[in-house]
Amino acid sequence: MGPIVAQSVHQFFQSDAGKETIRSLKEHCVKMSEETATKPPVAASRFAGKTFVITGTMALFSRTEMEERIRRLGGKTTSSVSRKTDFVVAGSNPGSKLEKARDLGIEILSEKDLL
């Protein structure tokens, strides 16, 4: 959305007609929170409810982007590998976390595996 369209949308929702539209939507039980509007369905995801550890340097995503991608898939991230870890996402130079994951038999994924 460009600045002209964004300004038009903003002006509409500041107008009486826009405020009436919002009131009507709320009256009809439309949820207006950002969290509800952007939360993706994750029930069918293989990664839903799973715990991930990210290790090494990522080529395609920043660590923050990788964590967000995992959350969108229904998973959670932690900083240390344990028996409760379901997946380790390994980039280049992964270090001891990768070795510990291998020792524990934890599935190792690449960035591309999450795509």
Q: Give the E-state strand segments of 9-114 in sequence order.
A: 51-55, 76-78, 87-90, 107-109
pTM of the model: 0.61
Residue type, 44: A
What is the domain partition of the chain in residue ranges?
A: 3-38, 51-114
pLDDT at 88: 95
pLDDT 10s digits, 58-77: 888 888 888 988 998 889 99
Do 85 and 78 touch, CB atoms closer than 8 A?
yes
How sure is the predictor about 37, in pLDDT bands with cuts at 50, 70 and 90? very low
* Beta carbons of 45 and 51 less than 8 angstroms apart: no
Query: In the predicted model, is pLDDT for residue 111 greater than 90?
Result: no
CB 49 within 8 Å of CB 75: yes
The CATH architecture assigned to 51-114 reads 3-Layer(aba) Sandwich (3.40)
Q: What is the rounded end-to-end Cα distance, in angstroms, of the chain?
A: 26
